[in-house]
């Protein structure tokens, strides 16, 4: 297959392109070399053309002879404050709309879209009395007092987290999350209008070699890894008991390969899949694994909290296994220990 990979010079796009090539596919790479991800004058990597998904002429040219599109280009991170909203809307929402319109003109009917588990907002919880419930909103008073676990949204009693399936409602909390929901909606509309088939891969916390070093937009694995490189302890917010699933970038790339090879056989419409390692762990555990492997100082649990953070979110990897045949291969304990010595991208 000839595949257009947008964001091909980025952290995930680089690994996706490599795995697709290894599987025998031909790649057309497109990347804007955005300054949030690449330093000024960074060379465009071999096999990637410099171009912008928001510019129809760039996308039309890149789509020539293409069988499928793998759309990784995006502004990432949570966004720092509301001033980031226009940039997320521009790159992620508008860029996706331009890309989809171009695919319509070029008659390309297969799309794999990088989405995120941030579309769910907080995870899903079970109350002993009320069953599956939404969590009560996190109140600043509770967080200040060190009460980090949410209560039942109905009665306030303690709840236990459970896996989030793909049918859970969208509850985006950040600029980035809102733009990922929008991308899925645009992809769904494109399927209806063009009879296309699309897969949205909702990545859990991605880590691995080549991930960007500490920036205001970095995820926690890069922040901890960068701190250790400076000889500083990872600073773990809240009480360190919040649950996440850290999935290796190579597994994320393999999920893209599986999706691209299956999307043509799926019914027209958007199909969403969580992409997770299947081995969730607490933030505190993750910090300890990284610090120990890097021979760095022990993590410090600070009790700090951020207004947009969710408490526990753990996506179920079951549907991706059942329908795409995808299962992650890298156990987080191994992959995170490797990350302690893996090169980071300094932009």
| Binding region for ligand UD1 (CB under 6 A) | 76-78, 116-118, 176, 203-206, 218-220, 223, 235-238, 242, 244, 283, 306, 309-310
Closest to ligand UD1 by CB, 69 vs 75, is 75
Closest to ligand UD1 by CB, 169 vs 267, is 169
By DSSP bridging, strand 2-6 and strand 26-31 are: parallel
Closest to ligand UD1 by CB, 106 vs 233, is 233
Supply the minimum distance, in Å, between the C-beta of residue 306 and ligand UD1. Answer: 6
Supply the minimum distance, in Å, between the C-beta of residue 208 and ligand UD1. Answer: 12
Closest to ligand UD1 by CB, 180 vs 262, is 180
Supply the minimum distance, in Å, between the C-beta of residue 37 and ligand UD1. Answer: 12
Among 109, 67, 262, 89, CA closest to 193: 109
Closest to ligand UD1 by CB, 197 vs 277, is 277
Contact 347, 211 (CB under 8 A): no
Helix H segments across 157-219? 175-194
Question: Among positive and negative, which fits the CA dihedral 70, 334, 313, 266?
Answer: positive
Among 282, 45, 78, 298, CA closest to 179: 78
With tokens 């100082």, the residue in question is 297
Q: Which tokens belong to 86? A: 């226009």
Supply the minimum distance, in Å, between the C-beta of residue 224 and ligand UD1. Answer: 7
Among 134, 113, 111, 137, CA closest to 124: 134
Supply the minimum distance, in Å, between the C-beta of residue 58 and ligand UD1. Answer: 25
């Amino acid at each position: 297959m000839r595949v257009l990979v947008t964001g091909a010079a980025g952290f995930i796009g680089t690994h996706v392109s490599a795995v697709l090539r290894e599987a025998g596919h031909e790649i057309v790479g497109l990347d804007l070399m955005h300054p949030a991800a690449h330093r000024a004058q960074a060379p465009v990597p071999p096999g990637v053309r410099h171009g912008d998904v928001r510019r129809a002429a760039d996308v039309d040219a890149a789509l020539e002879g293409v069988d499928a599109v793998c759309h990784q280009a995006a502004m990432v991170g949570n966004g720092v404050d509301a001033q980031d909203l226009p940039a997320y809307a521009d790159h992620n929402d508008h860029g996706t709309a331009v890309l989809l319109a171009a695919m319509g003109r070029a008659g390309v009917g297969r799309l794999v879209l990088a989405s995120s588990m941030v579309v769910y907002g907080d995870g899903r919880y079970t109350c002993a009395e009320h069953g599956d419930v939404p969590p009560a909103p996190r109140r600043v008073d509770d967080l200040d007092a060190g009460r980090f676990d949410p209560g039942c949204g109905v009665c306030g009693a303690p709840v236990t987290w459970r896996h989030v399936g793909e049918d859970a409602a969208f509850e985006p909390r950040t600029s980035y999350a809102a733009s990922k929901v929008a991308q899925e909606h645009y992809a769904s509309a494109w399927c209806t209008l063009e009879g296309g088939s699309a897969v949205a891969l909702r990545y859990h916390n991605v880590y691995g070699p080549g991930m960007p070093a500490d920036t205001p937009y970095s995820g926690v694995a890069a922040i901890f890894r960068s701190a250790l490189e400076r000889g500083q302890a990872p600073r773990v917010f809240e009480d360190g008991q919040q649950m996440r699933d850290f999935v290796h970038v190579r597994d994320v790339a393999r999920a893209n390969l599986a999706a691209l090879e299956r999307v043509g056989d799926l019914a027209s419409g958007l199909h969403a899949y969580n992409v997770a390692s299947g081995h969730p762990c607490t933030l505190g555990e993750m910090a300890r694994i990284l610090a120990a492997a890097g021979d760095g100082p022990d993590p410090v649990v600070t009790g700090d909290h951020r207004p947009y953070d969710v408490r526990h979110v753990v996506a179920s990897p079951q549907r991706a296994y059942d329908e795409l045949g995808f299962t992650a291969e890298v156990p987080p304990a191994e992959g995170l220990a490797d990350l302690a010595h893996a090169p980071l991208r300094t932009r």
